[in-house]
Amino acid sequence: MRIFLLSTLILLFGVTIKAQDRHFSQFYSAPIYLNPALTGNYDGGFRIGLNYRDQWRGTLDNPFVTYSGFVDLKMKARLSAAQKDYAAVGAIFFADQVSAVDFNTNNMSFTGALHKSLDINNKQYLSIGFQFGISSRNVNYEKLNFADQFNGVDGFTENTNELLPANNFSFGDLSTGLHYSIRIKKHASLYAGLALHHILQPAISFYEKPTEEIYLQRKFTLYGGSELPISTSTSLNPRIFVMKQGEHLEMTGGANFRTLVNDYSGVAVHFGGWLRTNRSITGPVNPDAVILLAGFEYNRILFGVSYDINLGSLSKSRGRQAFEFSLGYLGETEEDGIVCPKF
């Protein structure tokens, strides 16, 4: 019965509703995915990152899994002799797996961004980025059960008369974004950005001629944050994240602390938490999850782990939480570079 219900869910997503994106609770640890304008937006020459999300382990025999990896490179741009401008290129891969029914989404995207200094002291930057990607989706029909396969006694053992389309398809995608940052002093900064994903609203259906139009709705993302020094070794990093896609609105707000343990070796610890809420346009705002974060920083290597405590309709289900892990590395660190949000 569990496989049957999951099968129905997958078909609904493919045929009768407009799809939404997956997301990471550690949204700042997947910067290129968050906003193409964040490509090359860091204090260094290159960056490598990995993300992994494991959701509903315990509730499902096979949890939902999402993982991604990215790399980006930053180069000096000769736009002004007196200012430090930068250009950047990058690539990101992500995969989303519903293992119980073998439904997979894979994406490979390439990004480019330009970071323009707005003052002679290079304390303010305006960034613009673009991203183009190819996505593919596939499903294993052998793991799906349909109502006409039920033998009336103890299982889904009969043949199905469903007319099934090809089990895979691909589509192109285009996104863009803006990002602004200002460094108030060495360890104090503000930043904000907005992004528009799925500009062309690509068609997403396993059927060549679906009974109704099915497309990936545009996603609007708005975020902001700051780094506020509390002492010589500790800073507070509040931030807010808002995402709207179709009829759905997600809002996340919170903060984390960063404490420098050893300046010489670059050892620091991070800890904090956020509250995520969501709603449909016609419904009330509902709390979705409390997100707890811990992180460790060593010599330009950054590791983070977060834990989602579900507060919504699944809050009474065992194993409804989600784990996330992130790993990043910054190379060729500079002094007083572009403001780069972490976690």
| pLDDT for the residue 335 | 53
Residue of 243, 241, 245 lying closest to 216 (CA atoms): 245
Q: Which residue has the higher pLDDT, 336 or 234?
A: 234
Q: Look at 75 and 150; give whichever has higher pLDDT.
A: 75
**140 pLDDT higher than 70:** yes
| Average pLDDT, integer, range 34-59 | 88
C-alpha 55 chain-centroid distance = 14
What does DSSP say about strands 64-77 and 85-98: parallel, antiparallel, or unpaired? antiparallel
17 has a pLDDT exceeding 50: no
Q: Tokens for 36? A: 């193409």
83 touches 122 (CB < 8 A): yes
Q: Residue 281's pLDDT is what? A: 66
**In sequence order, what are the beta bridge partners of 203?**
215
Res 340: pLDDT: 63
Three-state secondary-structure class, residue 5: helix
Q: Please indicate whether residue 80 or residue 48 has the higher confidence score (pLDDT).
A: 48
281-290 pLDDT, tens digit each: 667 888 889 9
Angle at 214 between CA 210 and CA 217, to 5 degrees: 170
- What CATH architecture applies to the domain 2-331? Beta Barrel (2.40)
Residue 14 banded pLDDT, cuts 50, 70, 90 = very low
**How far apart are the C-alpha atoms of 142 and 78, rounded to whole Å?**
56
- Judge whether 39 and 32 are in contact, CB under 8 Å: yes
- Of 25-34, 43-52, 143-152, 184-193, which gets the smallest average pLDDT? 143-152
Q: How confident is the model at residue 39 (pLDDT cuts 50, 70, 90)?
A: very high
- Using the predicted structure, report yes or no on whether residue 299 has a pLDDT greater than 90: no
pLDDT for residue 342: 62
Return the percentage of the chain with pLDDT > 70, whole number.
85
The Cα–Cα gap between 145 and 129 comes to 43
CA–CA dist 93, 136 (Å, integer): 12
Q: What is the pTM of this model?
A: 0.85
Residue 276 has pLDDT above 80, yes or no: yes
Span 140-149, average pLDDT: 80
Query: 27: helix, coil or strand?
Result: helix
Helical residues (DSSP H) of the chain, grouped into ranges: 2-15, 31-34
- Average the pLDDT over 169-186 and give the result: 94
Q: What is the mean pLDDT of the chain?
A: 85
Q: DSSP string covering 194-258, please? A: EEEE-TT--B--SSSS-SS--B---EEEEEEEEEEESSSSEEEEEEEEEEEETTEEEEEEEEEEE
Instruction: Measure the CA–CA gap between 71 and 238, rounded to whole angstroms.
Output: 26
Rounded Cα gap, residues 126 and 130, in angstroms: 14
pLDDT at 12: 40
CA distances from 185 to 3, 128, 259, 334 (A): 56, 24, 18, 16
Look at residues 199, 241, 237, 200 and name the one whose alpha carbon lies nearest to residue 34: 241
Q: CA-CA-CA-CA torsion for 108, 133, 247, 272, nearest 10 degrees? A: 50
pLDDT attached to residue 23 = 78
Give the model's pLDDT for residue 97. 85
**127 is written with which tokens?**
């960034």
Domain boundaries, the chain: 2-331
pLDDT of residue 177: 98
pLDDT at 13 over 70: no
